[in-house]
């Protein structure tokens, strides 16, 4: 079992650039979650999908952030344009038909 796979593991970009983070959930899991973790704000839920449909995006900070799940095995989180305050660790998690979530290793984003 490969677990949740995220790429890239580290991303350094300049302010104004587009950033795309990728996630492959565990096969058979039907819910997918995107979180952001910072020292100041802790762990924040950005958006979650169930059966590829966005259910709750109330945590998405602003229109610069968008997320898609075109199929059951892939999701993206895009930031356009990026800003220094977006620097954080972004986690993807997936869940089967239970309340237990399985987290990926995270993507550390630095926006200069």
Partner 1 sequence: GDSVTQMEGPVTLSEEAFLTINCTYTATGYPSLFWYVQYPGEGLQLLLKATKADDKGSNKGFEATYRKETTSFHLEKGSVQVSDSAVYFCALSIRTDKLIFGTGTRLQVFP
Chain contacts with partner 1 (rule: CB under 8 A): 4, 31, 33, 42-43, 45, 48, 50, 55-56, 91, 93, 95, 97-106
End-to-end Cα distance, the chain: 36
- Bridge-based pairing state of the strands 19-24 and 5-7: antiparallel
74/102 with CB nearer partner 1: 102
- The CB-of-10 to partner 1 minimum distance in angstroms stands at 11
CA distance 43 to 19: 20
49/65 with CB nearer partner 1: 49
């Amino acid at each position: 079992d490969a677990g949740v796979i995220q790429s890239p593991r580290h991303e350094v970009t300049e302010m104004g650039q587009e950033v795309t983070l990728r996630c492959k959930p565990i096969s058979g899991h039907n819910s997918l979650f995107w979180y952001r973790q910072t020292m100041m704000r802790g762990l924040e839920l950005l958006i979650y999908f169930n059966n590829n449909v966005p259910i709750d995006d109330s945590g998405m900070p602003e229109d610069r952030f968008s997320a898609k799940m075109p199929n059951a095995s892939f999701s993206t989180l895009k930031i356009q344009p990026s800003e220094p305050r977006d620097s954080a660790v972004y986690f993807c998690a997936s869940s089967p038909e239970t309340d237990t979530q399985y987290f990926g290793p995270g993507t550390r984003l630095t926006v200069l």
